[in-house]
Homo-oligomer: A and B are copies of this chain.
Amino acid sequence: MLPFDRSEYVGRMKKVQAQMIAKDIDALLITDPANMCYLAGHDAWSFYVHQMLLITLDDEMPIFIGRYMDAFSGVVKTTWLDENHVRAYSDDYVQSTIKHPMDYVSDVMKELKLDNKRIAVEMDNYYFTAAAYLSLKEGLPNAQLVNGNVLVNWVRIIKSHGEIELMKRAGKIAEKAMQAAVDTLEAGARQCDVAASIFGAQIRGTAEFGGDYPSIVPLLPAGKAAGAPHLTWTDERYPENIIVAVELAGCHQRYHSPMARTVSIGKPSEEAHRVAEITVEGLNAALEAAKPGNTCEDIEGAWRNVIAKYGIEKESRIGYSMGLNYPPDWGEHTASLRPGDKTILKPNMTFHCIPGMYFDDFGVSISESFRITENGYETFANFPRKLFIK
Identical copies in the complex: 2
Which of B73, B231, B235, B316 lies in contact with A228, CB distance below 8 A? Answer: B73
- Chain B's nearest CB lies how many Å from the CB of A247? 10
Q: Are B196 and A212 in contact (CB under 8 A)?
A: no
A238 on the B face (CB < 8 A): no
Which of B192, B213, B231 lies in contact with A78, CB distance below 8 A? Answer: B231
Residues on B with beta carbons closer than 8 Å to the beta carbon of A28: none
Residues on B with beta carbons closer than 8 Å to the beta carbon of A134: 123, 133
Q: Are A74 and B231 in contact (CB under 8 A)?
A: yes
Q: Are A190 and B213 in contact (CB under 8 A)?
A: no
Q: Are B43 and A232 in contact (CB under 8 A)?
A: yes
A211 on the B face (CB < 8 A): yes
Residues on B with beta carbons closer than 8 Å to the beta carbon of A213: 217, 232
A233 on the B face (CB < 8 A): yes
Which stretch in A201-209, A286-294, A375-383 binds the other chain? A201-209
Using A95-B336, A121-B130, A316-B69 as known contacts, say yes or no to A203 and B199 having CB atoms under 8 A apart: yes
Residues on B with beta carbons closer than 8 Å to the beta carbon of A301: none
Which stretch in A11-19, A327-335, A344-352, A366-374 binds the other chain? A327-335
Q: Are A230 and B45 in contact (CB under 8 A)?
A: yes
Residues on B with beta carbons closer than 8 Å to the beta carbon of A233: 210, 212
**Given A43-B231, A199-B200, 6 other A-B residues pairs in contact with their CB atoms under 8 A:** A46-B230, A94-B336, A197-B200, A199-B199, A199-B203, A209-B235
Q: List 7 A-B contacts (CB under 8 A).
A: A94-B316, A124-B132, A129-B130, A131-B147, A190-B210, A196-B203, A200-B200
